[in-house]
Amino acid sequence: MAIGQPIDRVDGALKVTGRALYAADRRFERQLYALAVRSTAAAGRIAEIDVAAASGTPGVVAVYTHLNAGAALNWRKTDALLALGAEALGLSALAAAEPDKPEGYLPLASDLVSFAGQWIAVVVAESLEAAREGADLVRARYEPQPATAEIGQGDETWLEPTFFFGADMQVRRGSEPEGPARHASVDAFYTTPMQLHHPMEPSATTAVWGKDGVTLYDSTQGTWATRAYVAESLGLAQEQVRVVSPYVGGGFGGKNQIWPHQALAAHIARTLQRPVRLQLTRADMAVASGHRTATEQRVALTSDADGRLTMLRHVSRVPTSMTGGFFEPCGLNSLTLYETAALDVRHQVTRKAIPTPTPFRGPGETPGSFALESALDEMAHRLGLDPLELRRRTYPQRDGYHARDWSSNNLLECYRRGADAFGWPDGPTAPRSLREGHELIGFGMAATAYPAPALTATVTLRLDTRGHVVVETSATDIGTGMYTILAQAVSDDLGLALGDIQVRLGDSSFPQAPTAGRSKSTASLLPAARRACLALLEQLAALRNKADPAPGSNLPVGDLLVRAGLAELVAEGTSAGMPTDRNLSFYSFGAHFVEVRVDEQIGRLRVARVVSALDCGRIINPKTAASQIRGGIIFGMGMALMERSEFDPVQSRLVNDNLADYPIPVHADVPPIEVIFLDLPDTRFNDFGARGVGEIGVPGTAAAIANAVHCATGRRIRHLPITMGQLL
């Protein structure tokens, strides 16, 4: 059996030897290079833009601005185009609260400026160096307007969105108790800062036209979604656009949505009749491929004397862009994760002069869990309870928000297994009571939960006369291990060695698969692969019976195909998506346990170790799955201790849109991380009993660290990131 084994990535050798080609690695004859010019104003209009010096730069072929892009590139705003792009994401949730729907943003479409960093020109040249030199010479003069980028600056209009990310954004159920039922309470504000995705591979699109249409070599999490957007923009049938993205150097949500550069590259290549690569710089990634916005959250809890929640209130205030619709739905876990008599979960959104935000690994759950899990820890200390015991007492027997039973919920076992492996103390630990030498020691924990979605997907198998199988689907592997687990699934169902299986991904000419994100790819693709395997086995059985009906005959596959006059045998399988049982709620659960050490003499805070126990159904490959969880925990460490995007308070411009000024964890920051999977199949979810693991490692991690810091120092930190300045 290959499933359940810690098999190395089948694409690993290609990646570590540099043979895996990413979007910006493509080189074609007469290829051109395009770079964008960003606005220095945060709001207003472009009064004048001077491209003469840029156009005269040796090697520069063309410069496009709002003055010529419409005519030269046929680059215009259309409702259909904008409805497909990232700007439209979530607009329906805001529509009821916003009668005057904003017009979606498209760069180079008008003189209007909506945020600092907005693209105002694109320079195309024979080389990347010439494009950069030309971009530096573009000059613009603005008619500025007042603008604010952060919550709390200026007068703000708060919108109350409706239904978003599968949940009501305004939920009130029950009433807050009075008298003896209100034994203890917590009411506090928590904030998280704006965060940037910063995948290792910046986004890029290389567009190449042929007689039948255009091929885009793109860094995207969804080839079919990108194809639909680009085809609509170009006025072509989707069959005339091919999107190729076999390798993606990280996405985290920033490549999950559709961005203008993908179509813009195709427009420029069509106009100039040459291949064009439009590559985002690291600074572009901060303004042209999304981010996680800052959040302000108020969490209020009340409980009875036994620690059972009688009221949970979670009110979030978050910004979005002037033209977009995505916002952080911070209250998602508060709807389901704890039993409470009264529930009040609300979201308020305001428009700011910022780039459009987008999903970022655990959108909603990640910042929301920091506030919720920190408040639970505060409540435990108010009650004199072990924080782990408080969570046991508020364990959700069922999904109260949806009024459904869980398909599977082993959260209590996660608590037990994680606590045992960590060595969690029996009973509450007083702050500042643990010390070793100069270091204060703190223990903290938090729960995590994440939905388990699935969408329909199709997988094609091609069996040749050698007995080798090629697996094809348009899904992308953004570093999660999809190449490997598909090979494992097919290996088991067909009884083939892994070396006899080739997996081909990330091509829109392959069968439909959902965009990678929201931890749904495994549950969507593996059932499709199984159905394809069953269909292939049926075809083989029919050929075998026809070729030699004698009982027990076992002709080699190659001989069967040769006798039938076939070069290959093709089978296809399509998964069903979510289970049809609407009386069940499908989630994954877990718990993080963290030790921190604080040396107050030298001002050092470090995470010393992490243990995470997770209930994610059956684990297809424990090696790649644990890698995903560790990566998520490292994300949580960055959120807790380092990451914060800063705006210039006067100009509303990002001042740390680069990796030099935006710190993220490196090897020296990362402690031993033990990942424990319960590995209990959720057979009511799919045949494999497997749920996605891509994002559940992030929610709760920052809270567990903050809770451990409180245990070590006695300081309750409610505003991330945690710095030694807050502790000393």
Residue numbers annotated as active site? 695
**CA dihedral defined by 152, 156, 159, 165, rounded to 10 degrees?**
-30
Say how many C-beta atoms besides its own lie within 10 A of residue 63's C-beta: 27
| Strand-by-strand arrangement of the 241-244 sheet | 60-65, 119-125, 32-38, 276-279, 204-210, 213-218, 241-244
Distance between CA atoms of residues 203 and 214, nearest Å: 19
Q: Where are the alpha helices (DSSP H) in 348-481?
A: 365-383, 387-393, 411-422
CB atoms within 10 A of CB 341: 18
Strands across the sheet containing 673-677: 435-436, 439-451, 587-599, 604-615, 673-677
On the 0-12 / 13-18 / 19+ scale of CB atoms within 10 A, 80 is: exposed
Q: How far apart, in whole angstroms, are the C-alpha atoms of residue 622 and residue 133?
A: 48
Round to whole Å and give the CA distance between 63 and 103: 25
* DSSP run (H or E) holding 590: strand 587-599
Query: Do 346 and 316 touch, CB atoms closer than 8 A?
Result: yes
The rounded distance, in Å, linking the Cα atoms of 123 and 137 is 10
Neighbours of 554 (CB within 10 A): 6
Query: Among 365, 367, 392, which Cα is nearest to 452's?
Result: 365
Q: Which two tokens stand for residue 422?
A: 């960590």
Distance CA 728, CA 707 (A): 17
Q: Which residue has the tokens 């409180």?
A: 710
Question: From CA 220, how far away is CA 474, in angstroms rounded?
Answer: 11
* CA–CA gap between residue 113 and residue 309 (Å, rounded): 48
Beta-bridge partners for 49:
140
How many Cα atoms occupy the beta-carbon half-sphere of 449 within 13 Å? Answer: 27
Cis peptide before 102 (omega within 30 of 0): no
Cβ contacts of 68 within 8 Å, gap of 6 or more: none
How many other CB atoms are there within 10 angstroms of residue 18's CB atom? 8
CA–chain centroid gap for 294, Å, is: 16
Q: Is 662 helix (H, G, I), strand (E, B) or coil?
A: coil
DSSP 8-state code for residue 408: -
CA dihedral 7, 8, 9, 12 (to 10 degrees): -170
Tokens linked to 410 = 């082993």
Nearest CA-CA partner of 636 in 669, 614, 603: 669
The number of angstroms, rounded, from the C-alpha of 439 to the middle of its chain's C-alpha atoms is 36
* Structural contact between residues 635 and 701, judged by C-beta atoms closer than 8 angstroms: yes
Q: 64 is written with which tokens?
A: 């496009």
Rounded distance between C-alpha atoms, residue 500 and residue 39, angstroms: 52
Q: For the purposes of burial, counting CB atoms within 10 Å of the CB of 727, is it exposed (0-12), middle (13-18) or buried (19 or more)?
A: middle
The backbone torsions φ and ψ at residue 711, rounded to the nearest 5 degrees and listed phi first, read -60, -40
Strand partners for 346: 170, 315
